[in-house]
Amino acid sequence: MQKVTMDLNIILDFLNKREFHKEAAQILQWSQQGIIEAYVCAHEITTLSYFLEKKLRDREKSGNIIRKLLNLFSVIEINKDILILALDSKISDFEDAVIECSSLKYSISYIITRNLSDFSNSRIKALSPIDFISKVMEK
């Protein structure tokens, strides 16, 4: 089973019905069905909570959304070792470097993101949702 790390922008696409929300929904459905194993970094969940509470102004609703999402993902713990590795990553944005380094630790196959250029120096291949769906469908 392929293991993928979902960048926060994919989750936000799904929740906010942005341009690529259908592709994001397909990937989340595959996770729910056990076709893939989807991961998210713990810090992305706290960032998502911030965005949800700011938008919804309702902590209970925000919490319910996060609970549902946590049923779809395995959560990658972020610790001191990962943060130190991220400081030495070739990825210039620290948050993205944390995603890369934590994904390496968990032997992730792909990082799914719309911001491919942010992961151009990643040691894990970054794919757009459309490219990942095409890759899965090939098999």
Q: What is the pLDDT of residues 103-134, one digit of tens each?
A: 999 999 999 999 999 999 999 999 999 999 99
d(CA 6, CA 24): 9
The residues spanned by each domain of the chain are 2-138
Name the more confident of 76 and 136.
Answer: 76
| Residues 18-43, mean pLDDT to the nearest whole number | 94
pLDDT digits (tens, 9 = 90+) for 80-105: 999 999 999 999 999 999 999 999 99
| Residues 33-39, mean pLDDT to the nearest whole number | 95
Q: Which two tokens stand for residue 10?
A: 């994919």
Q: Which two tokens stand for residue 116?
A: 């491919």
Looking at residue 58, its pLDDT comes to 87
| Residues 68-79, mean pLDDT to the nearest whole number | 95
How far apart, in Å, are the Cα atoms of 80 and each of 31, 90, 97, 103?
28, 18, 13, 15
Using a 10 angstrom Cβ sphere, with 0-12 exposed, 13-18 middle and 19 or more buried, the burial of residue 37 is middle
Return the CATH number of 2-138, one of 3.90.550.10, 3.40.228.10, 3.40.50.1010, 3.40.50.1000.
3.40.50.1010
d(CA 10, CA 31): 14
- The 3-state DSSP class for residue 51 equals helix
Region for 57 from its dihedrals, namely left if φ exceeds 0, alpha if ψ lies in -120 to 50, beta otherwise? left
Query: Considering the chain, what is the average pLDDT of its residues?
Result: 94
